[in-house]
Structure 1
């Protein structure tokens, strides 16, 4: 049994250990803001405090059966004046106009102002790739595509614009970013992550958080970020959403925890908890993770909110509580501050009872309420509960759209380009076909206008599908369209083949329809047979096939890739993804995306790039590490040459910084952007080392013949790993650097014994 399992098991019923603690309030009252919050709490009733910890969905205070969304004034009055609800979330139905959002938020905050203490409601929304529930907003590529840009500045800019447009929708709290590690290719939420690499996830995550929050979340242009889903949500053993994960403590700390640690350092104000369970322990019940690690080690002092109904699920799904009331006791004592209930008031009723019974201490309630009220003050909600509509002239502007276009252009990844078939000449006759060719759902994915993104074709009707973007680029006369197949069924194959024979080139668009969470669960990572069959039939025509993949996870398409002349990965590149793809196909933009995931060759060969040496195979093993495309892979229409790798010292010592530099030259004929990826391998260690790990990246633009020097600074802490005692250590030894096709070695030399250099993350 691992240390993680042992401790989580001991802490399952966190109330036991918590009740033994001193009943004094844990929150220090050093700052003027803390004192203001404590003064407010001192005048609150128990019911008012528990109300602040209660979050309900908008449906609870809305009319049922109305053709368009309307608030129910009686339900709203009950929520605020009887239950003192502190937070409301979500959207009822589909995306709203800014005007309707204004009416909703004004009504909610006006009702809050009638309550005794006039505490404003904090409204939350999943604005995870732009303001997904506001009509006319700027939708960016999903996080997996943003990761493919390897451009920290783009992540920051996307966060900044999203925050502006979220505040323009009068909402101050954004349930983003997803900081889960996208390790399991089957998982239906992998497209919401920044990919499989811990360094990319933590770096891009911190950048977008800084964009969301700015220097002051209380100004009218920034929001409170919510890092999610803490912790280990993205590695279910089955690949299905919200199913059990098995993650040893050492492994958890090595790969899954760093992104959250970095987010705390970046100042993230709130956190959402993993809905699943790890080693049999639901995270919502784990004092070890929610208090000992999150508060004790990471020093996070913001709001920890549950995910959808997850306290109730401790009873109905996980079966670690024998009743809903016991579930509330376990979760709050473990460290939950706010319950996304979300449909009724059982959490409120049970928590009031539990405090009266002494099963949840008042100091724990005060602690949670302090965190909630402090964020409300920091957001400026007490002074400005509703924004001014005139303060947001850039909402949905061309300036913001241009940033989304740039992100999509830098994300799209060229994986294959035999004989330089791309870029295409604009005079060629093109057949566009396949199930993802003419729908915005396959560009926007889930969380777009609705939870499942199933109305993107309606709300993004003014945007261009892949087909429409190609028609716009080269003219309708040069473009023919045939569906060829739906996502899992062949349709008009004969007509499609006839059209292919009359064309010069075939743009075959395969992939997935929009989905998220459990709706996106699959039993087979292979693309449906119909799509592969369509590719096979089109290849028989002898015309070059440009395979375009619009998908949220790496579906197995090896047979189709073997038949293509070129393969392009668009991920879920957002509202501007069609135009960005057309720009790349026809050479107006040089592709620069790199895979932020390993693209598997076979359905059961799902190994991440930072594999162990045992997974590499050997000369007698044909089943070792052999992905279709490796993490970090991506082609360009130009070429880049690496050289002159330089280290300022052959040895790295304690307290020193190793400066690593490399010259990168554009050796081709076109201007292009290059993501420079620094991999470092430790050759020998007390824990089996990863084959290689990304320790730095930078993106540069080079004109033909131009050379730039890219530098990285590495400290001993950057080379650390988690040992078998769950401690972060850097062990002396030889390390190998890889930059492009260049390698170099150095030694880490320490005068200290290993034991003296250990310490918690």
Structure 2
């Protein structure tokens, strides 16, 4: 084994010597953190490379002096293309706008580069048209080009950040950023929401693949490289015709939330917040990044979008950042006391631009106007926010550049998926691969062999690309949606056949003539953000179909090479045992041929490319090692951070790794409703297809009405009344699906304490949802009718019964719902999932 010399962050050494390694202090231990600590030496005064320009500042002063209040508010509003029109832009003159993941011009997934440029130009022309709003300030378009221009059909899709971290090559990162910038500019867009500089500390987090490494030093170095690649180096080439505005995100601590819960609470000391989670901002801002995106998460209980200490005192004050802070997708609405359309707190805390998709932008606009008029938001704070926006636009040359359609690279179709860019991506794939096992030096393979290529990801560019690919979640795509791209199988087939061998694709691993070797490509299905959150790192927990395929091939005496597609390290001991060679391929993107370049010899029998990738994250020895980082005092991984074999080195993993683990702790019950919906669960009412979140004690939506009432304590129960005038339901949902598979490992039940009122109609349905074509809708009218009226009763639905009826516990989005089209009344006072000593009979049988 050869350990590549990754830079060990000096902050870790300090933490280890201080006995702080691996600690996650409770909130109580960090409540002393106040604005007074701005006087300490934790946060540095950064050496920013873009100096203040007095002439530019005077130009801003002149503009501010001419702007009306509404014109200023427009500069801090960022709506989404699905929710505004060109005429809205002409009327309001928004400072910026965005396309979210899966949003396209004309709502057309197959929009051409010309379509993107046309929308960019129309929005720009409307923004500088002063006939309605009275001012001509160019708008700017922001997009999530996080691994290439990933919303555009035909664009080069680079490996996700975790794979790039395995390469540990800042020069490669800069090349990727330059290529991405060109493809983005070819569509007329000014601004990229990248890089993500999170340091993932818990691999259950659904955004782990957006993190380069568990080592903050790699993240710091990469942040500097990608910012320089996107924007250019401050000076002559800075943000010119070949540069786009970059965004370091998400400030700060998004990778450190407790239990790896997306948008959760990061419970760490201020020193750890800086040493681990803020290093990417040091690197990115010192390279000249002009925008910072605030994070959804909280720090010790306080939402970052509303944290004046971090946004204002630290980022803008101590660190000296003079660009602007943009919010994340309605993140301001998560601040206590705020809604998506009303939140003065965020601006007062230091947020400069509200990212406000949906139609909430309009009431937010007028609420902000009123709040400034009333003095709730000081005019000085608004002027500072607008100044920052204008400063970035002036530095980017937006006032001087021609409209998007007339810019040098706009509309250049040859840049989208350009051969030069694809070669960079293919090289990135080669450098990202990490060889975990190579028994008997099976790899590299002779291309003249008969090779069976199997597994669900073998010929699936969408799966190998992961989330944030065309659609937000990366789902719903076929290989035809990646013109110019190559699947892993296609790359293998081309080289094998050119050398005179045979490469046969059979996803299920079937064959007529026994192959010399089988390459099995398998792994995680695409996901993004909280949809990828897990509660355990056991791969295919409870449904090990890929393991069965590996074992079937091994039983037939066929050597097996596993190519594992994943957005994080996972516990795959059984799959490792069933493999002769095992490659961590991460999420390689559209250029799957890079895999063949490494695992196959050339036609002359020579090694084409050796394995140079090394683990950017430690590999778990048990399913419960989600928090596994090399600075921990009790560090005991299966494979250490920095591990990776090269050709000729002996394989170190045995073939009999432990495959059974009882788990470190008992399964904790999941409380869904106790006095009120418990986070992350939300209560929704639906009538005739119209959904409405419950936000008050009494609420009505069409054919369903709900109100709170007192049972044991004040307002601890809810009554639901169905009028029967339309199909209606109430349901407990979550913004991101939850992984509840732990409840399949011992007898468990969904336990509901309820009370029926009056007669039960013939059809009352229990509903649950776990994604497209996943869930259940079962009539429980007979069970409810058997209960005495107007008395509290606890009803249990065995988990085994629910899964047999169609519920996938890995992706639970609606955990409990009741639906009917008849008149009916029902009350609840407790809902939870818990282990049970005795399972009741399934009511659906």
Shorter-chain TM range is: 0.7 to 0.9
Determine if contact 1:511/1:555 at 8 Å carries over to the other structure. no
Instruction: After TM superposition, give the deviation of residue 349 of structure 1 in Å.
Output: 1.3
Q: Which of 504, 507, 524 is the equivalent residue of 1:480?
A: 504
Q: CA separation in 2, counterparts of 1:591 and 1:611?
A: 26
Q: Residues 8, 440 of structure 1: CA spacing in aligned structure 2 closer, same or farther, 3 A cutoff?
A: farther
Matched, 1:342 2:379: no
Q: Residues 465, 186 of structure 1: CA spacing in aligned structure 2 closer, same or farther, 3 A cutoff?
A: same
Instruction: After TM superposition, give the deviation of residue 525 of structure 1 in Å.
Output: 2.0
Instruction: After TM superposition, give the deviation of residue 390 of structure 1 in Å.
Output: 5.5
Tell me which residue corresponds to 2:605. Answer: none
Determine if contact 1:3/1:249 at 8 Å carries over to the other structure. no
| Consecutive aligned runs of 4 or more in structure 1 exceeding 6 Å deviation | none
Matched, 1:566 2:581: yes
User: 3-state SS of the aligned residue for 2:74?
Assistant: helix
User: 3-state SS of the aligned residue for 2:522?
Assistant: strand
Tell me which residue corresponds to 1:106. Answer: 121
Q: Which of 350, 353, 361 is the equivalent residue of 2:370?
A: 353
Q: How does 1:611-690 map to 2 (within 5 A)?
A: 611-613=631-633, 615-616=634-635, 625=636, 627-638=637-648
Q: Residues 407, 54 of structure 1: CA spacing in aligned structure 2 closer, same or farther, 3 A cutoff?
A: same
Q: Residues 88, 585 of structure 1: CA spacing in aligned structure 2 closer, same or farther, 3 A cutoff?
A: same
Q: CA separation in 2, counterparts of 1:323 and 1:479?
A: 56
Q: TM-score, normalised by structure 2?
A: 0.66
Q: TM-score, normalised by structure 1?
A: 0.73
Instruction: After TM superposition, give the deviation of residue 532 of structure 1 in Å.
Output: 2.1
User: 3-state SS of the aligned residue for 1:597?
Assistant: coil
Q: CA separation in 1, counterparts of 2:379 and 2:289?
A: 26
Determine if contact 2:154/2:484 at 8 Å carries over to the other structure. no
Tell me which residue corresponds to 2:65. Answer: 42
User: 3-state SS of the aligned residue for 2:142?
Assistant: strand
User: 3-state SS of the aligned residue for 1:308?
Assistant: coil
Q: CA separation in 2, counterparts of 1:175 and 1:342?
A: 15
Q: How does 1:545-564 map to 2 (within 5 A)?
A: 545-564=560-579
Q: CA separation in 2, counterparts of 1:356 and 1:570?
A: 56
Listed one character per residue, the Cα deviations across residues 35-81 of structure 1 (whole Å, up to 9, x for unaligned) are: 111111110001100100000000012xxxxxxxxxxxxx3223431
Tell me which residue corresponds to 2:388. Answer: 371
Determine if contact 2:170/2:221 at 8 Å carries over to the other structure. yes
Q: CA separation in 2, counterparts of 1:324 and 1:459?
A: 34
Tell me which residue corresponds to 1:432. Answer: 453
Q: Residues 510, 431 of structure 1: CA spacing in aligned structure 2 closer, same or farther, 3 A cutoff?
A: same
User: 3-state SS of the aligned residue for 2:267?
Assistant: coil
Q: CA separation in 2, counterparts of 1:112 and 1:498?
A: 61
Matched, 1:593 2:613: yes
Q: Residues 3, 350 of structure 1: CA spacing in aligned structure 2 closer, same or farther, 3 A cutoff?
A: farther
Report how many residues are paired: 582
User: 3-state SS of the aligned residue for 1:238?
Assistant: helix
Tell me which residue corresponds to 1:647. Answer: none
User: 3-state SS of the aligned residue for 2:79?
Assistant: strand
Q: Residues 634, 213 of structure 1: CA spacing in aligned structure 2 closer, same or farther, 3 A cutoff?
A: same
Q: CA separation in 2, counterparts of 1:2 and 1:256?
A: 20
Instruction: After TM superposition, give the deviation of residue 287 of structure 1 in Å.
Output: 0.6
Listed one character per residue, the Cα deviations across residues 665-700 of structure 1 (whole Å, up to 9, x for unaligned) are: xxxxxxxxxxxxxxxxxxxxxxxxxxxxxxxxxxxx
Tell me which residue corresponds to 1:245. Answer: 266
Q: Residues 150, 324 of structure 1: CA spacing in aligned structure 2 closer, same or farther, 3 A cutoff?
A: closer
Q: Residues 3, 223 of structure 1: CA spacing in aligned structure 2 closer, same or farther, 3 A cutoff?
A: farther
State which drifts further: 588-597 or 392-401: 392-401
Q: CA separation in 2, counterparts of 1:584 and 1:397?
A: 23
Instruction: After TM superposition, give the deviation of residue 9 of structure 1 in Å.
Output: 9.4
Q: Residues 466, 29 of structure 1: CA spacing in aligned structure 2 closer, same or farther, 3 A cutoff?
A: closer
Tell me which residue corresponds to 1:78. Answer: 88
Determine if contact 2:347/2:377 at 8 Å carries over to the other structure. yes
User: 3-state SS of the aligned residue for 1:546?
Assistant: strand
Q: CA separation in 1, counterparts of 2:79 and 2:95?
A: 9
Q: Residues 133, 497 of structure 1: CA spacing in aligned structure 2 closer, same or farther, 3 A cutoff?
A: closer
Tell me which residue corresponds to 1:490. Answer: none
User: 3-state SS of the aligned residue for 1:224?
Assistant: coil
Instruction: After TM superposition, give the deviation of residue 276 of structure 1 in Å.
Output: 1.6
Q: Which of 543, 567, 573 is the equivalent residue of 2:558?
A: 543
User: 3-state SS of the aligned residue for 1:58?
Assistant: coil
Q: CA separation in 2, counterparts of 1:341 and 1:171?
A: 19
Tell me which residue corresponds to 1:709. Answer: none
Q: Residues 30, 466 of structure 1: CA spacing in aligned structure 2 closer, same or farther, 3 A cutoff?
A: closer
Determine if contact 2:619/2:641 at 8 Å carries over to the other structure. yes
State the structure with more CA Rg: 2
Q: CA separation in 1, counterparts of 2:373 and 2:390?
A: 23
Determine if contact 1:597/1:631 at 8 Å carries over to the other structure. yes
Instruction: After TM superposition, give the deviation of residue 29 of structure 1 in Å.
Output: 7.8
Listed one character per residue, the Cα deviations across residues 207-228 of structure 1 (whole Å, up to 9, x for unaligned) are: 1111011034431110111000
Listed one character per residue, the Cα deviations across residues 175-200 of structure 1 (whole Å, up to 9, x for unaligned) are: 00000002211111111111211001
Q: CA separation in 2, counterparts of 1:202 and 1:629?
A: 24
Determine if contact 2:429/2:594 at 8 Å carries over to the other structure. yes
Instruction: After TM superposition, give the deviation of residue 96 of structure 1 in Å.
Output: 3.0
Instruction: After TM superposition, give the deviation of residue 474 of structure 1 in Å.
Output: 0.9
Q: Residues 398, 324 of structure 1: CA spacing in aligned structure 2 closer, same or farther, 3 A cutoff?
A: closer
Matched, 1:171 2:194: no
Q: Residues 29, 429 of structure 1: CA spacing in aligned structure 2 closer, same or farther, 3 A cutoff?
A: closer
Determine if contact 1:235/1:245 at 8 Å carries over to the other structure. yes
Q: Residues 243, 3 of structure 1: CA spacing in aligned structure 2 closer, same or farther, 3 A cutoff?
A: closer
Matched, 1:444 2:453: no
Q: Residues 202, 579 of structure 1: CA spacing in aligned structure 2 closer, same or farther, 3 A cutoff?
A: same
Instruction: After TM superposition, give the deviation of residue 374 of structure 1 in Å.
Output: 1.1
User: 3-state SS of the aligned residue for 1:464?
Assistant: coil
Instruction: After TM superposition, give the deviation of residue 628 of structure 1 in Å.
Output: 2.3
Matched, 1:221 2:242: yes
Determine if contact 1:532/1:557 at 8 Å carries over to the other structure. no
Instruction: After TM superposition, give the deviation of residue 109 of structure 1 in Å.
Output: 1.0
Tell me which residue corresponds to 1:6. Answer: 32
Q: Which of 291, 316, 329 is the equivalent residue of 1:270?
A: 291
Instruction: After TM superposition, give the deviation of residue 274 of structure 1 in Å.
Output: 0.7
Tell me which residue corresponds to 1:117. Answer: 135
Q: CA separation in 2, counterparts of 1:244 and 1:143?
A: 23
Determine if contact 2:456/2:522 at 8 Å carries over to the other structure. yes
Tell me which residue corresponds to 1:508. Answer: 520
Determine if contact 1:220/1:387 at 8 Å carries over to the other structure. no
Q: Which of 434, 459, 470 is the equivalent residue of 2:481?
A: 459
Instruction: After TM superposition, give the deviation of residue 323 of structure 1 in Å.
Output: 5.5
Instruction: After TM superposition, give the deviation of residue 30 of structure 1 in Å.
Output: 5.7
Instruction: After TM superposition, give the deviation of residue 521 of structure 1 in Å.
Output: 2.6
Indicate the RMSD between aligned Cα atoms, in angstroms.
Answer: 2.3
Determine if contact 1:411/1:570 at 8 Å carries over to the other structure. yes
Q: CA separation in 1, counterparts of 2:384 and 2:119?
A: 30
Instruction: After TM superposition, give the deviation of residue 174 of structure 1 in Å.
Output: 0.3
Determine if contact 2:81/2:97 at 8 Å carries over to the other structure. yes
Determine if contact 1:142/1:191 at 8 Å carries over to the other structure. yes
Instruction: After TM superposition, give the deviation of residue 563 of structure 1 in Å.
Output: 2.2
Gaps of 5+ in 2: 1-26, 38-50, 602-607, 651-845
Q: How does 1:204-353 map to 2 (within 5 A)?
A: 204-215=222-233, 216-314=237-335, 320-321=336-337, 328-344=343-359, 345-353=362-370
Q: CA separation in 1, counterparts of 2:354 and 2:184?
A: 22
Tell me which residue corresponds to 1:693. Answer: none
Q: Residues 379, 632 of structure 1: CA spacing in aligned structure 2 closer, same or farther, 3 A cutoff?
A: same
Q: Residues 207, 573 of structure 1: CA spacing in aligned structure 2 closer, same or farther, 3 A cutoff?
A: same
Instruction: After TM superposition, give the deviation of residue 296 of structure 1 in Å.
Output: 1.7
Tell me which residue corresponds to 2:658. Answer: none
User: 3-state SS of the aligned residue for 2:430?
Assistant: helix
Instruction: After TM superposition, give the deviation of residue 258 of structure 1 in Å.
Output: 1.5
Determine if contact 2:371/2:377 at 8 Å carries over to the other structure. yes
Q: Residues 582, 60 of structure 1: CA spacing in aligned structure 2 closer, same or farther, 3 A cutoff?
A: same
Tell me which residue corresponds to 1:715. Answer: none
Q: CA separation in 1, counterparts of 2:229 and 2:640?
A: 30
Instruction: After TM superposition, give the deviation of residue 100 of structure 1 in Å.
Output: 0.5
Determine if contact 1:546/1:564 at 8 Å carries over to the other structure. yes
Instruction: After TM superposition, give the deviation of residue 426 of structure 1 in Å.
Output: 1.0
Matched, 1:362 2:384: no
